[in-house]
Chain A
Amino acid sequence: MIRCCKVRYSGTPQLATYQELSNFLTEVERRAYKQALFAVRDEHGALDIVQDSMLKLTEKYSGKPAEEFPMLFQRILQNTIRDYYRRQKVRSLWTTLLSSLTPHQEEEYDPLETLEVEDDSNRIHRPEETLARSQVVKLIEQALENLPARQREAFLLRYWEELDVSETAAAMGCSEGSVKTHCSRATHAVAAFLKSKGIEP
C-alpha cells in the first residue's frame, strides 16, 4: 500500500487545510492504533494513545504544511507511548504498594473474559484462505510484540509508515546508523519467528 501522504503532499509547502488533516488522520489512525497496541498490549490504552496523539497534532501542529504531518504525528505518537509507559510504571508501583497493604482481591479477575475476546476475534466461519492469512497476521503481530521496543519502533516507522531513514532517526531521536541496525535486526527476527512456526513470509 502506498501511503497517500507520500504522493499527495508534494511541491511547495502550504499550510494544511481541514480536509487534508482529516484525510491524514483517517489514513493513519488504524496503523497508529496497531503501533500503540504492539507497544502497550492493551486495547483501551492504545486507543487513548491514538486519541491523545491526534489531539496534540491538531492543537499544536495543524498550522504546519500537510507534508510534515507523518513525521510530526509519529514523533507525537512515540512520545505518547513513552508517557504511557511512565504512567504505567508509577501506577504499578502504587498498585504494588497498596495491594501489599490491602487483602487479596485476585478473585475479581476472570481469565475467561480474555478467552472470550480471543474466541470472538477468531472468525471461524470464513474461507480457509482468509483464516490462514489471519493466522499469519496474528503471528506477525506476535513477533512484533516480542521485539525489543526500539527495534519494533524502527521497523514500523521505516517500513510500515514509509518514513525514510533520516525521518525515522529524527522521530526516534537516534542516529541513522542505529535505525538501519534496528530495522535489519527486526526484519530478520520476525522472519526467523515465522520460519520457526513453519511459515515462509
Chain B
Amino acid sequence: MNENDLAKKITQHLDYGTSKLDGRVQFRLQAARQQALEAYAKPHHHFSLAWGGHSGRSGHHRGHSHFRAWLPLAVLLLGLMFITYWQTTDQMNDLSEIDAHLLAEELPFDAFIDTGFDTWLEGSSEE
C-alpha cells in the first residue's frame, strides 16, 4: 500500500472518530460557531462619514466601509498639509516683503523699534 492510500485509510478512521464526538463537545463547538457567526452579522462601527443608506453590515461591504473609515483621516491629513504649506508660503512672502523694503530703504519706523528685528540684523551681520 502506498503512502497516499495509507494516509487515506488513516483519515477515514479519523473521520469516524469525529462523528462520535461527545455531546458536550459538540454543543460547545456549536456555541463557538454561533458566537463567530454573530460577530460576522454584527454591524461594524467604524469612525466614518455617515453617508449612504448602509452601514457596512455584511462582509460584502467591508472594502467599502474601510474606504469610508479612512476617508476622514485622509481629508484631515490633506487639510493639515495645506495649512502648513500656506503658512510657509505666507512667511516667505512676509520676509521677501521686508527684504524689499530694506533694500529700497522704505522700512517703516516700527521695524526699527522691534527688538526681534535688531536681533535678526545682528545675527545676519555676524554671518
Whether the pair A31, B18 counts as a contact (CB closer than 8 A) is yes
With both chains docked as a complex, state the minimum distance between the C-beta of A184 and any C-beta of chain B, in angstroms. 6
A57 vs B35: C-alpha distance when bound (angstroms) = 12
A138 vs B19: C-alpha distance when bound (angstroms) = 13
A191 vs B17: C-alpha distance when bound (angstroms) = 17
Does any Cβ of A come within 8 Å of B60's Cβ? yes
A184 vs B6: C-alpha distance when bound (angstroms) = 10
Q: What residues of chain B have their CB less than 8 Å away from a CB belonging to chain A?
A: 3-4, 6-22, 25-26, 28-30, 32-33, 35-37, 39-41, 58-60, 62-63
* B11 contact set on A, CB distance < 8 A: 1, 159-160
Whether the pair A63, B10 counts as a contact (CB closer than 8 A) is no
Question: When A55-B35, A55-B39, A137-B14 are in contact, do A16 and B28 touch as well, CB less than 8 Å?
Answer: no
* A201 contact set on B, CB distance < 8 A: 6, 9-10, 13
Per DSSP, are chain B's interface residues mostly helix, strand or loop, or mixed? helix
A155 vs B29: C-alpha distance when bound (angstroms) = 23
8 residue pairs of the A-B complex, CB under 8 angstroms, read A1-B11, A16-B59, A21-B37, A25-B33, A25-B36, A62-B59, A183-B7, A191-B6
Q: Which of A18, A33, A134, A183 contacts B20 (CB 8 A)?
A: A134
Question: When A59-B39, A183-B7, A187-B10 are in contact, do A1 and B25 touch as well, CB less than 8 Å?
Answer: no
* B6 contact set on A, CB distance < 8 A: 187, 191, 201
Interface residue ranges of A4-38 to B (CB < 8 Å) = 15-18, 21-22, 25-26, 29-31, 33-34
Q: Which of B7, B17, B37, B63 contacts A137 (CB 8 A)?
A: B17
Q: What residues of chain A have their CB less than 8 Å away from a CB belonging to chain B?
A: 1, 15-18, 21-22, 25-26, 29-31, 33-34, 43, 47, 50-51, 54-55, 57-59, 62-63, 121, 133-134, 136-138, 140-141, 155, 158-160, 183-184, 187-188, 190-191, 201
Whether the pair B62, A63 counts as a contact (CB closer than 8 A) is yes
A113 vs B18: C-alpha distance when bound (angstroms) = 23
A26 vs B63: C-alpha distance when bound (angstroms) = 26
Question: When A33-B25, A58-B36 are in contact, do A136 and B13 touch as well, CB less than 8 Å?
Answer: yes
Q: Which of B9, B18, B37, B62 contacts A30 (CB 8 A)?
A: B18
* A159 contact set on B, CB distance < 8 A: 4, 7-8, 10-11
* B59 contact set on A, CB distance < 8 A: 15-18, 21, 62-63
Question: When A15-B60, A22-B37 are in contact, do A137 and B16 touch as well, CB less than 8 Å?
Answer: yes
* B30 contact set on A, CB distance < 8 A: 29
A21 vs B14: C-alpha distance when bound (angstroms) = 24
Q: Which of B12, B18, B26 contacts A34 (CB 8 A)?
A: B18
